[in-house]
Amino acid sequence: MCGIVGYLGKRNATPIIIEGLKRLEYRGYDSSGIAIIPDKEIKVYKESGRITELERVLPTPKESSSNIGIAHTRWATHGEPSKKNAHPHLSHNGKIAVVHNGIIENYVALRKQLVKEGYEIVSDTDSEILAHLIEYFYKKDGDITIAVQNALKLVEGTFGIAVINQDNPKQIVAARRGSPLILGIGDDEFFVTSDVGATIIHTKQVIYLHDNEIATIDRDGYEIITLMNNKVEAIISEVDWDISAVEKGDYDSFMIKEIFEQPISVENAFRGRLSEKLSTTRLGGLNIPNSELRKVKKIQIVACGTSWHAGLIGKHLIEKLARIPVEVEYASEYRYRNPIIEEDTLVFVISQSGETADTLAALREAQAKGAKVLGITNTVGSTIARESDGGSYIHCGSEIGVASTKAFTSQVTVLTLLAILLGRMHHTSPTDGLRYIKELYNIPDKIKKILDQNDKIEAIAETIKDSTNALYLGRGVNYPVALEGALKLKEISYIHAEGYPAAEMKHGPIALIDESMPVIAIALKDSIYDKIISNLEEVRARNGRIITIATENDDRVKEFSENVIYIPDTESIFQPLLSVIPMQLLAYHVAKKRGLDVDKPRNLAKSVTVE
């Protein structure tokens, strides 16, 4: 989950790397550090806290001038956030520096062996072991690439690493297994990074390293081999992001920028995928002929966090429109419980980054059991995109805010397209299919109407910002939205919040309700509207403070609501794309009013690439 940046070229590496680190800070911000070779000797500077703390300890530009460097921003796994545990880590002789993302599962055994060999371990991390292990092999044959290769052959676990060696100050060695690493190709310069966002300002030409590949980069070019010493013919890809995608622009945070980008990101998710002529949708990347899709008897959706909530919505829609049973699984539990995959079962894995470790492990487990696995991801070239049997990109653009917003609605949009596609193959009539497609075209404008209520929602946030608990209620397809709303509030405001099916409230959570408990309820006009109104009457009878998300022109909810946020009317299958927007804005404003950093909530990181 940490961020890695490396540079080799003609320019001063330090400012380029620091800029790249700042663009990757959403991947971890417990500590950071940089290693450079300004004058034949490796210099390492590191500090706990944000990257601004690292900048304070850097020497003058002249003293820190170097044409090569590697750097790291950390999300702690082994060892607390501290200066000594920050990366880069130096080898015992101080001549090799390493930055690492991932977890070395057998580090205890490797550590014991290195201590026996006389190596002193100074940090609490598993990553430091790599620096000493590489030095151990480097002493044997004097080739840093071979040393990295031999060291990694002993490693169990995941890694994305970059290594520099003061004996050759014009060379970087990088390698990956289970943790993303990208080689950027510039004009007589090269970049190594865990995310294209760090180098998009400098180059759009990239090589996505695959698992168990090692890249050796020098001023003349690069060479890529495998751990088993097979040469790799690399494929250069072009990143289609614009630099504005990784800039805040006029917004004060990435989160609010990304919330307001949702009319565009949702439209991008369905653009070119609707067929009015056939009253259906198209998802060509699935790589499955319609004849095979029609034979699917069961679907499993596997994901984590916000993506899991999107999967729950997908379950509701697919079962409603196509009458195909759907199971939604936590990726972190999936492979450890020996999942049952029957014939004609189709598995979908959902991950914004395409690198989520638990989801990737679930993908491989499902494939090992003979399932066809399709990915729903945002990231071209990601591991899930490469290893799945097909799938669909959500096309939401770069999402920097740690708390996902536009990726969620884009995932839901793609799952909605899938539900319509499968529905038309089974139980959905052409008339209904065409009605859904025409309404989907209206969703971006309806999201804009909700965003126009931003000031009103900010005022509502003022009334609950000092709460210590909150309850989110929804029913049917909006129950997962209640879960997502509660998660957003927890993630960025640190207020304890729980999402519940509204009817389940009386089976326990109702005991928590009093005059200080805000209850955020989704009560939209649909087939179960009267049922949720009855549930909210139960809350009012116990003096709960109700904030209701309701369908426009619904005056009935005013009777028991402290505040009402109205959203446009729509088909029930599209309600989650609208009802989640007030949830996102409410969480954002509550966190801002509590003086918190909405883009970098404590203890969290954007792309969870470790188990």
Question: Of residues 343 and 593, which shows the higher confidence score?
Answer: 593
Q: Could you give the CA distance from residue 285 to residue 375 in angstroms, rounded to a whole number?
A: 10
- 70 vs 291: CA distance, rounded Å: 51
Give the SS3 label for residue 151.
Answer: helix
Domain-located, residue 213: yes
Show the CA angle centred on residue 23, arms to residues 22 and 25, nearest 5°. 60
Q: Are residues 520 and 549 in the same domain?
A: yes
608 in a structural domain: no
Per the prediction, the chain carries an average pLDDT of: 91
Indicate the length of the chain as a whole number: 611
> What CATH number is attached to the domain comprising 553?
3.40.50.10490
Q: Identify the sign of the CA torsion 474, 478, 480, 486.
A: negative
Q: What is the CATH number of the domain that holds 91?
A: 3.60.20.10
Examine residue 460 and state whether it is found in any structural domain, yes or no.
yes
Task: Work out the pLDDT band at 1, boundaries 50, 70, 90.
Answer: low
How much is the pLDDT for 509?
Answer: 73
CB contact burial 496-520 (16+ within 10 A = b; e otherwise): ebbbbbbbebeeeebeebeeebbbb
Residue 183's domain spans which residues?
Answer: 3-246
CA atoms of 499 and 509, how far apart (whole Å)? 10
The reply to whether 395 and 486 lie within a common domain is: no
What is the model's pLDDT at position 399? 87
Query: Residue 80 and residue 103: Cα distance in Å, rounded?
Result: 14
Q: Are 422 and 293 in contact (CB under 8 A)?
A: yes
Two structure tokens written together for 311: 């999967």
Q: How far is CA 438 from CA 101, 279, 280, 392, in A?
A: 46, 9, 11, 21
| pLDDT for the residue numbered 79 | 66
In a domain, 604, yes or no: no
Q: Is 163 helix (H, G, I), strand (E, B) or coil?
A: strand
Give the domain-ending residue among 246, 271, 286. 246
504 with 437, same domain? no
Q: What is the pLDDT of residues 392-437, one digit of tens each?
A: 999 998 888 889 999 999 999 999 999 999 999 999 999 999 999 9
Task: Identify which has the larger pLDDT, 292 or 508.
Answer: 292
CA distance 507 to 371: 38
Closest CA to 321 of 426, 393, 411, 196: 426
Distances (CA, A) of 228 to 156, 211, 214, 224, 259: 15, 12, 10, 12, 46
Task: Decide: 482 and 428 in contact? Cβ < 8 Å.
Answer: no
Is residue 442 in some structural domain?
yes
> Strand locations in 135-189, DSSP E?
159-165, 168-177, 182-185
> Cα separation of 184 and 246, whole Å?
17
Provide the pLDDT for residue 329: 96
Are residues 437 and 472 located together in one domain of the fold?
A: no
Q: Is there a single domain that holds both residue 187 and residue 327?
A: no
Unique residue bearing structure tokens 């390698």: 175
What end-to-end distance do the CA atoms of the chain give, in Å? 10
Tally of domains within the chain:
3
Q: How far is CA 210 from CA 214, 235, 247, 337, 579, in A?
A: 9, 11, 28, 28, 39
Distance CA 499, CA 186 (A): 47
Residues 507, 432 share a domain:
no
CB atoms near residue 238 (< 10 Å): 9
Cα 168 to chain centroid, rounded: 36
Give the separation between CA 472 and CA 523, rounded to whole angstroms: 11
Point out the domain boundary residue: 185, 218, 246.
Answer: 246
**Measuring CA to CA, which residue among 425, 468, 302, 444 is closest to residue 369?**
302
* Calculated CA dihedral for residues 397, 402, 405, 406, nearest 10 degrees: 0
Contacts of residue 77, Cβ cutoff 8 Å, sequence gap at least 6:
103, 126, 610
Whether residue 484 is contained in a domain is answered as yes
Band (74; pLDDT cuts 50, 70, 90): confident
* Average pLDDT over every residue of 475-481: 95
- What is the CB neighbour count within 10 angstroms for residue 135? 23
pLDDT in tens, 462-472: 999 999 999 99
Helices (H), ranges, 12-99: 13-23, 51-57
Same domain, 372 and 494: no
CA 209 to chain centre: 19
Classify residue 611: in a domain, yes or no.
Answer: no
Query: Quick one: tokens of 302?
Result: 């596997």
State mean pLDDT over 114-130.
90
Q: Which two tokens stand for residue 167?
A: 């004996």
Give me the active site residues, please: 2, 606
pTM of the model: 0.83
Q: DSSP string covering 372-423, please?
A: EEEEEES-TT-HHHHHSSEEEE-------SSS-SHHHHHHHHHHHHHHHHHH
User: In terms of C-beta density within 10 A (0-12 exposed, 13-18 middle, 19 or more buried), how is residue 226 classed?
Assistant: middle
Q: Tens digit of pLDDT for each residue in 240-259?
A: 766 666 778 789 999 999 99
Residue 606 covered by a domain:
no
Quickly state the pLDDT bin for 605 (edges 50, 70, 90): low
Task: Verify that 22 and 46 share a domain, yes or no.
Answer: yes
pLDDT at 300: 97
Residues 84 and 182 in one domain: yes
Q: What's the pLDDT score for residue 294?
A: 93
What mean pLDDT do residues 265-274 have? 95
- The residue among 425, 448, 471 that closes a domain is 448
Q: Tell whether 106 and 155 lie within a shared domain.
A: yes
Co-location of 175 and 271 in the same domain = no
Cα 348 to Cα 122, 283, 305, 364, 392, distances in angstroms: 44, 14, 15, 12, 10
| Between 449 and 220, the higher pLDDT residue | 449
228 and 254 belong to one structural domain: no
433: tokens are: 């299919």
DSSP single-letter state for residue 170: E
Overall average pLDDT of the 47-69 stretch? 86
Measure the CA–CA gap between 563 and 544, rounded to whole angstroms: 12
Mean pLDDT of 164-174: 95
Beta-carbon contacts of residue 210 (< 8 Å; ≥ 6 apart): 176, 232, 386
